[in-house]
Amino acid sequence: MKRLRCPHRAWDPNLTRAEIQRSPKRAIRWLFRRITSPWRGLPSIYIAGARKCGTTSLFYYLVAHPHLLPPFRKEVKFFTFQFYLGTLWYRANFPFVHQLRGRMTLDATATYLMHPWFAQRAYALTPHARVIVLVRNPVKRVLSMYNQNRRRGLESLPLEKVFEREQSLLSGERERLADPCYSPARFELYGYLWESCYIEHLERLWTFFPPEQVLVLRSEDLFASPQEVMAQVYRFLDLQPFQQTSFRIYNPGHYRVDASLKPAVAWLQEYFAPYNQRLYNALGRDLGWERECIDFD
């Protein structure tokens, strides 16, 4: 895909004035990558999401493997925010082709899973890539995302109100995202419920990537038994076993669930129940979320 002309979009998000002032050396490194992009490779692995499910931890566990090379930045966001920049811009994020002989690289963008056009775009460019998806109890994922947005000053509404806003605000948003020039910022910021309907996204993903190229992991298992889960990941990627000595948890969420949220949590549990059941049926296993307890203060 060639670069598109998009009004009000950056010529290059890595070369804005703010980025150059933040780190001139990094900007120079990126310029070199842009110049040499025709000779660079593409990812053979995607960590596609979902957010607040441990994607950052999984990324750092993976790049510790000697046969995996990291991208310029963890979240490239090409198929969502930056698709208008074209394939050469995307290649600039990855190692040279000759460096990838016998090795792999990856793109770990946690919002890919929820984006309506990720699967189609990614398959067209990298049809043999493998996709890893992390899923977490959807009620806890929503609570974690909501509290993160509150801490960052991105959310001012009470919990029960954000669901009403999502239904009205995001109406028609999925269709608008077909335009690469259209920013998915509002979709990603306010799609609390949508992002946690995992089966909807997986069915769309399986339409393009065959199931044998998609690995669905329960994020609770990643943190409870990281060594066992990573062994499963290495087998999926045809990588040699690799013994890690440390499994630090990256970006842990610290928040309290006030007892006043009980009605909203009960509503969420009822809302997600049919989606969860469809997911269990599709995966052929019960992920046990209905039996988990939410601890209220």
Q: Tens of pLDDT along 232-262? A: 999 999 999 998 888 988 888 777 787 888 8
60: closest CA among 267, 284, 245, 250?
Answer: 250
List the strands of the sheet with 104-108, edge to edge: 68-69, 104-108, 45-49, 130-135, 214-218
- Per-residue pLDDT at 249: 86
Q: Which of 91-100, 203-212, 260-269, 277-286 has the lowest mean pLDDT?
A: 260-269
Other C-beta atoms closer than 10 Å to the C-beta of 289 total 20
CATH 3.40.50.300 fits 41-289, yes or no: yes
What CA–CA distances, in Å, run from 286 to 106, 120, 277, 278?
A: 29, 28, 8, 10
Question: Which helix (H) or strand (E) is 205 found in, with range?
Answer: helix 198-208
Q: Tens of pLDDT along 135-179? A: 999 999 999 999 999 999 999 999 989 998 998 888 888 889 999
Mean pLDDT of the residues in the chain: 94
Q: Tens of pLDDT along 117-147? A: 999 999 999 999 999 999 999 999 999 999 9
Q: Scanning the structure block, which residue is given the tokens 């995996």?
A: 68
pLDDT band at 297 (very low <50, low <70, confident <90, very high): low
